[in-house]
Amino acid sequence: MKFINYLESIAGIEIFPLISLLVFSLFFIALIFYVIKADKKYIEHMQQIPFEQESQNK
Amino acid sequence: MEQEKFYYDNKIVKLFAYATIFWGLIGMTVGLLAALQLVFPALNFNWAPTTFGRVRPVHTNAVIFAFVGNGIFTGVYYSLQRLCKARMFSDKLSKIHFWGWQLIIVFAALTLFAGFTTSKEYAELEWPLDIAITLIWVVFGWNMFGTILQRRERHLYVAIWFYIATFVTVAVLHIVNSLEIPVSFLKSYSLYAGVQDALVQWWYGHNAVAFFLTTPYLGLMYYFIPKAAERPVYSYRLSIIHFWALIFLYIWAGPHHLLYTALPDWAQSLGVVFSIMLLAPSWGGMINGLLTLRGAWDKVRESVELKFLVVAVTAYGMATFEGPMLSLKNVNAIAHYTDWIVAHVHVGALGWNGFLTFGMLYWLYPKLFGRALYSQKLANFHFWIATIGILFYAIPMYWAGFTQSLMWKEFTAEGFLKYPNFLETVTKLAPLYALRSLGGVLYLAGFVVMIYNLIKTAQLGQPVTDEEAYAAPLTKEYLPHSKDHWHRVIERKPIQMLVWSLVVILIGGIIEMVPTFLIQSNVPTIASVKPYTPLELQGRDIYVREGCYTCHSQMIRPFRSETERYGEYSKAGEFVYDHPFQWGSKRTGPDLARIGGKYPDSWHFNHMEDPTTMSPGSIMPAYPWLIDDVLDVNSTPAKIRVMQTLGVPYPAGFDQIAVKHLTEQATKISQGLKKDGIEVKEDSEIIALIAYLQRLGTDIKAEKTAQN
């Protein structure tokens, strides 16, 4: 029987999942970094947006 | 700064709310019918439009796109206006969006009942409707972005990011998965075949769950929970992480629907890894939602809408815990194709989407009609009966899933299958299916009580159609907070937000799919796998039309329990001419990948006419009309030509002789049947279906004999 799974024979395909993981990890680290650095006043303002129906816009 | 006076458009919100309720009732009732059909096959009514294979797609499409779809629009049209401090961009676009969507739903239901389907789950609609959906979706996006651009609040609240990501991603998913070549006005063939078609379909299918049932509802969660609890979201920082990590990860996870199939291993592993990682942002979101209520649990006791919202978020947490578990290969080996998956999706659909919608409606109606809810008591009743309904639904389905899976896999001491007759594993489930239907009845009863309560509220109230509001316009020059934060920059600029969301989801989609596509030209097909004959092709289209894939898989996994039962496991090369693929996702009936040659033609004839004659106690619907209905052979040349366009190697000019070829094969089959004492016209549809069934999986048997 010669039914090997031909799709698996792409050269170097194992690298794909690794690249994906790396891309996500970098993305995630950058994300955490910036979120921690976020300005407190800004965060407070954002949280209040649903509640300031008629309030003045700064 | 001068305040401007403007009006929120509540009318459009109301219309969408009505549609949500109306389609919810229909979609769930149809679901109940499907559930009951598995207990009482007589409820298929011996009529094509009411057989399970057609009812099930109507149910799934109705609850996803009609009930939840309108639920999304209700919530978005209400919250977007408030979060932007602006009326919707254009009343006309709102109206086109609303009526366009409802019209699509009506045509969707009609065409699905009539058997026009692509057979790609949750994307069954045929090409004219696909185009209509694209247009109306653009109208929705246009209206949304118009509103955002006219906003009086500089920053985009997290809910809006979820709406934007939903908009872009659904557009991409819908277009990529719907690429098909029309054969006629209501028939088309998928551009992709076999493994590729499966990969695209489940990239879509998984992300339809992600970006239609989840991200927009998370947006609603981030708006309505704080509103109902009257306190801001627990951690806005967490919501930023939740958003980006979720949309980044979700898009990769599709292959977990195809574990142990003929999909290449690396793609399966990719799907598993990203599915497991998804747990983190999902739970981050759930915790964020629940902790918003910290210190306000007394309120939850009093407010029925909060009760619904809390259970919704809890169900979200349960479903998103279970999802990654189900994508572990060893768990998946047990759960896939069984009712476990049905239980899983219903925890999500009934718990998360259903309860969030109910919570939102109970909160919204008093606002829209300027009076308190008609009856708190009835709403509480709804809450309890619906909760019990979910339990009665989910527990028997989990039970059924385990039971059946164990029975499929059990061997005797001598090494034979303990339950070689598949039907035994089905009849065993009947009481569980009955209990599940009872769960559905309870849930639906609660829904009806809600409708009454909401109608009463509306009748006794004064509709607030255009709600007055004040806000200052945005100034041109913007004074940043102390130091400008990168995220604030994106989020001040909605178009950038859209572009970034698009980039993030495309990375996943591209890495997942490009390799499989690049090698299309060098997939050496298995030499003995040949294109379908014209008659088989027609038979295949009948198989698609009747929705046989809703109960039958065509994908044998490489387990001993499956190869013993069904034969040689399925190979990627066997599906290269399958536009669309028919791997299926649920085995209510046995796998059919190698049904060819298992039984004589006469067996299939009798079985299709009335399954119980050949398999006493079968719950498969009867298809007697296939014997009376005449096959439309005139469509054959066009079908062959489209297949040729798609790269199926029929010889040039074959379309011209296809009908002759078809008739010859049909004559042979009907003569064979005659020998067995069955008189049937050779142009009847059942002949084509039998030809197709007898072909399934036989190509590689031919290869084996050739080699021996």
Least confident range from A34-48, B85-99, B473-487, B618-632: namely: B473-487
Element (H, E) at B63: none
Beta bridge mates, B522: none
pLDDT at A4 over 70: no
Share of chain B above pLDDT 70, in %: 95
User: What is the model's pLDDT at position A2?
Assistant: 30
CB contacts, 8 Å: A11 with chain B:
none
Q: Which of A23, A32, A39 has its CB closest to that of B241? A: A32
Q: Is B252 helix (H, G, I), strand (E, B) or coil?
A: coil
Angstrom CA distances, B509 to B200, B248, B539, stand at 9, 10, 34
- Answer whether B266 sits within 8 Å of A17, measured CB to CB: yes
B486 to chain A, any CB pair closer than 8 A? The answer is yes
Q: What is the mean pLDDT of chain B?
A: 92
- Answer whether B233 sits within 8 Å of A47, measured CB to CB: yes
What is the interface size between A and B, counted as CB pairs within 8 Å? 135
pLDDT at B444 over 90: yes
Q: What is the pLDDT of residues B452-485, one digit of tens each?
A: 999 999 999 999 899 999 988 887 655 555 555 5
ipTM over 0.90: no
CB contacts, 8 Å: A38 with chain B:
237, 240, 485, 487
Q: Which residue has the tokens 């599915």?
A: B275
Write the CB contacts of B419 (distance below 8 Å, at least 6 apart in sequence): B407, B408, B410, B425
Least confident range from A28-32, B169-173, B562-566: namely: A28-32
pLDDT at B572 over 90: no
Q: Is B230 helix (H, G, I), strand (E, B) or coil?
A: coil
A11 to chain B, any CB pair closer than 8 A? The answer is no
Residue B700 pLDDT class (50, 70, 90 cuts): confident
Residue B263 pLDDT class (50, 70, 90 cuts): confident
Q: What is the nearest CA distance from A22 to chain B, expressed in angstroms?
A: 12
User: What is the model's pLDDT at position B685?
Assistant: 98
Helices (H), B336-429: 339-346, 355-369, 376-409, 422-427
pLDDT at B114 over 60: yes
pLDDT at A56 over 50: no
Return the closest-CA partner of residue B201 out of B109, B263, B108. B263
pLDDT at B7 over 90: yes
Query: Cα separation of B637 and B534, whole Å?
Result: 9
pLDDT at A1 over 50: no
User: What is the model's pLDDT at position B1?
Assistant: 64
Angstrom CA distances, B522 to A10, B190, B475, B623, stand at 10, 20, 59, 41
Query: Cα separation of B663 and B419, whole Å?
Result: 40
Angle at B328 between CA B327 and CA B331, to 5 degrees: 100
Query: Cα separation of B233 and B225, whole Å?
Result: 8
A15 to chain B, any CB pair closer than 8 A? The answer is no
- Answer whether B264 sits within 8 Å of A45, measured CB to CB: no
Spell out a b/e string for A17-42, using b for 16 or more CB atoms within 10 Å of the CB, else e.
beebeeebeebbeebeebbeebeeeb
User: What is the model's pLDDT at position B415?
Assistant: 93
- Answer whether B515 sits within 8 Å of A13, measured CB to CB: yes
Residue A23 pLDDT class (50, 70, 90 cuts): confident
Residue B266 pLDDT class (50, 70, 90 cuts): confident
Pick among B4, B227, B231, B244 to test the A interface (most A CBs inside 10 A): B244
Q: How many CB atoms lie within 10 A of CB B483?
A: 9
Angstrom CA distances, B513 to B174, B195, B211, B251, B507, stand at 15, 11, 19, 11, 10
Element (H, E) at B176: helix B158-177
B369 to chain A, any CB pair closer than 8 A? The answer is no
Return the closest-CA partner of residue B112 out of B67, B70, B59, B63. B59
B699 to chain A, any CB pair closer than 8 A? The answer is no
User: What is the model's pLDDT at position A13?
Assistant: 65
Question: Residue B488 corresponds to which tokens in the numbers above?
Answer: 């604030």
pLDDT at B134 over 70: yes
Q: B245 near B192, Cβ under 8 Å?
A: no
Residue B513 pLDDT class (50, 70, 90 cuts): confident
Q: Which of B263, B472, B707 has its CB closest to that of A56? A: B472
Q: Look at phi and psi of residue B260 and say left if phi exceeds 0, alpha if psi is from -120 to 50, else beta.
A: left
Element (H, E) at B601: helix B601-609
User: What is the model's pLDDT at position B702?
Assistant: 67
Residue A8 pLDDT class (50, 70, 90 cuts): very low
- Answer whether B262 sits within 8 Å of A5, measured CB to CB: yes
Q: Which of B269, B469, B472 has its CB closest to that of A53? A: B469
Residue A7 pLDDT class (50, 70, 90 cuts): very low
Mean pLDDT, range B434-455, rounded to an integer: 98
Beta bridge mates, B9: B466
Residue B680 pLDDT class (50, 70, 90 cuts): very high
Amino acid at B28: M
Pick among A31, A42, A48, A51 to test the B interface (most B CBs inside 10 A): A42
Q: Which residue has the tokens 């609240």?
A: B157
Query: Cα separation of B703 and B529, whole Å?
Result: 8
Residue B487 pLDDT class (50, 70, 90 cuts): low
Q: Which of A28, A38, A53 has its CB closest to that of B485? A: A38
Q: How many CB atoms lie within 10 A of CB B699?
A: 17
Query: Cα separation of B705 and B708, whole Å?
Result: 5
pLDDT at A21 over 90: no
- Answer whether B154 sits within 8 Å of A57, measured CB to CB: yes
Beta bridge mates, B140: none
Angstrom CA distances, B638 to B256, B312, B632, stand at 36, 49, 12
Q: What is the pLDDT of residues B374-418, one digit of tens each?
A: 999 999 999 999 999 999 999 999 999 999 999 999 999 999 999
State the number of CA atoms in the 13 A half-sphere of B238 facing the CB: 18
User: What is the model's pLDDT at position B268?
Assistant: 82
Higher local confidence (pLDDT), B476 or B215: B215
B185 to chain A, any CB pair closer than 8 A? The answer is no
pTM of the model: 0.94
Q: What is the pLDDT of residues B200-210, one digit of tens each?
A: 999 899 988 89
List the beta strands (DSSP E) in B149-222: 180-184, 187-190
A40 to chain B, any CB pair closer than 8 A? The answer is no
Amino acid at A46: M
pLDDT at B72 over 90: yes
- Answer whether B270 sits within 8 Å of A3, measured CB to CB: no
Q: Look at phi and psi of residue B598 and say left if phi exceeds 0, alpha if psi is from -120 to 50, else beta.
A: alpha
Residue A54 pLDDT class (50, 70, 90 cuts): very low
Which domains does chain B carry? 329-471 (no CATH), 534-695 (1.10.760.10)
Higher local confidence (pLDDT), A57 or B515: B515
Residue B704 pLDDT class (50, 70, 90 cuts): low
Question: Residue B486 corresponds to which tokens in the numbers above?
Answer: 């990168």
CB contacts, 8 Å: A21 with chain B:
273
List the beta strands (DSSP E) in B223-301: none
